[in-house]
Amino acid sequence: MADWTNTTASDLNAPKRRGTPAPISSPPFPSADWPIGGTQEIGAPDTGVYPLQTAIDGGDPTKLSRAKWYGWVAIGANGSTNNRGNASKGIAANLPSAYDEFPNTVVLDQAAVYYERLADTAQTDHFDYGFRFAGLYGQDYRFTTAKGMLSQQLLVKNSQYGFDPVMFYYDLYFPKLGKGADLRIGRYISLPDIEAQLAPNNYTYSHSILYTYDCYTQTGANLSVKLNDHWTVQGGVSGGCEVMPWTMDAKPTGNVCVVYTWDDGGDTLNTCDNTINDGEYAYNNLTAFYETWYHKINASWHTDTEGWYQYMKDTPNMWWYNTGVPYNHVTSPWPETTTNGGPGGATLNFGAVCENPNSSSTGTRAARCYAPEWAVTNYIEHNFRNNSASLNIRNEVFDDIKGQRTGTPGIFEEHMVGFDFWAGSTVTFRPELSYVHSYGPYGLRALDINPGSSVSALQNEPVGQLPQATMRALGAKTQSLTLAADLIWHF
């Protein structure tokens, strides 16, 4: 079976790109364009050729159908200094690292199949349409699940493996609106972010903590208009993050993004208000503000930097004293939750540690509070000259101020170095080494435990007692080191 490859400008019938040139090389990077969610890259032709579709079309890559079948299988493994995880019991002791959340395991991360047709956005003379239907089976469904869409696999059964129809949408392309506009309708990946859930679309096997705990997918409609070669604007409406519109947790949610590109495509600044609604506590109902900068240093090096601030209002207090009695989360009024890993932190839908749990006060405390968090991550990427490998360096800081995302309030820093090696263009191998350090207030520890366990354990402590003994009994840590890798076979 032939490798899948891209057509080149030397192909007589190859469509021509319009606008600024692609800033980086693919492979080894996931895409030649800077990431932009909720739309196709307007002006970029469809040049993908895949072994499965080539076989379906009789082996002639010059006569491929516009609608294409393709996919991949990704198998991952990790060895970690965390040793208290248990995949069968849902103890994700590597979190907040992801998607290798269960330590010292070999897993089927993703088996994915796509059926898609890309709209022809390289032309400007006629309306066109596209679509994508994408199904994913594997452990990573735990990070893509939306409440109300086969979510009982995770939220009720807590299955290690499951299936998720992660994308199903139509693209309607209007060439005369600006320099081209795409209206996307359906379930799609949320607009901001350097990273992506689907394995071949990500720089590395693992994901930043920043990406793990923000919005992943939305179901609604989004319009992206390319005004000129510098400005693209986006606006849309959905039912919110990781919820289907028919669930009780869905809320009318707007989004607005403005993208500015300069240096002939070498620099792009993406500013997003991704979730515009009341911000009241509900299943993953984040209000989030993003800023992302992509910068091409030279032909071999580029860097991507992303920061966000997000919050929920009126978040239930995980440590709520009323006349000295700890808050019992079993009878909590919050939506159904689990502490076993989930989409963008969606099923890590904890309450908040609103006040110091070590206080000796036994008076009535607030039942709810404002729960914010912020994060910044940076990637430095090097493309080796034969385009068969890349060096990936990631550094980040994540401050879960009230513990609403991870279950433990505190600052987390992560440092990762890894490589992507390509064998032709059908096999990718991605080894990496990462280090995580957490700084928890009140003596809480966040690593090598099930998320939220530190706070839960303190409910049995006498009021005012420091938690060091409890943390030692849990085996909780403040530092971890993980060696991980995955192997992706593209078909």
Please check the confidence at residue 171 and state whether its pLDDT lies above 90: yes
Looking at per-residue confidence, does 334 or 183 come out higher? 183
Where are any strands of DSSP class E within 324-426? 368-383, 389-400, 410-423
How far the first Cα of the chain sits from its last, in Å, is 9
Please check the confidence at residue 325 and state whether its pLDDT lies above 50: no
Q: pLDDT confidence of 323, banded at 50, 70, 90?
A: very low
Contacts 24+ apart (CB under 8 A), 271-277: 272/191, 272/192, 272/234, 274/190, 274/191, 274/192, 274/215, 275/215, 275/240, 275/241, 275/310, 277/240, 277/251, 277/252, 277/253
Q: Rounded distance, CA 202 to CA 78, Å?
A: 18
* Model pLDDT for residues 285-294, shown as the tens digit of each residue: 999 999 999 9
Q: How is residue 410 written in tokens?
A: 């505190």
Burial of 409 per CB tally in 10 Å (0-12, 13-18, 19+)? buried
Furthest CA-CA distance within the chain? 79
Poorest-pLDDT segment among 160-169, 197-206, 247-256, 459-468 = 459-468
* Model pLDDT for residues 331-354, shown as the tens digit of each residue: 233 333 443 344 443 344 688 888
Q: pLDDT confidence of 431, banded at 50, 70, 90?
A: very high
DSSP designation for 472: H
Question: In this predicted structure, what is the pLDDT of residue 358?
Answer: 59
* Model pLDDT for residues 443-480, shown as the tens digit of each residue: 788 999 888 888 877 665 555 555 666 676 678 899 99
**Mean pLDDT computed over 30-44:** 95
Question: In this predicted structure, what is the pLDDT of residue 343?
Answer: 42
Please check the confidence at residue 330 and state whether its pLDDT lies above 80: no
What does the DSSP assignment read for 28-84?
A: TSS-SS---SSS--TT----B--HHHHHHTTS-GGG--SEEEEEEEEEEEEEES---
Please check the confidence at residue 327 and state whether its pLDDT lies above 50: no
Question: In this predicted structure, what is the pLDDT of residue 324?
Answer: 38
Question: In this predicted structure, what is the pLDDT of residue 154?
Answer: 93
* Model pLDDT for residues 108-152, shown as the tens digit of each residue: 999 999 999 999 999 999 999 999 999 999 999 999 999 999 999
The mean pLDDT value of the chain amounts to 88
Give domain 51-490's CATH architecture. Beta Barrel (2.40)
Question: In this predicted structure, what is the pLDDT of residue 63?
Answer: 74
| 14, 20, 24, 28: CA torsion to nearest 10 | -30
Question: In this predicted structure, what is the pLDDT of residue 3?
Answer: 46
Task: Tell me what percent of the residues of the chain surpass a pLDDT of 90.
Answer: 73
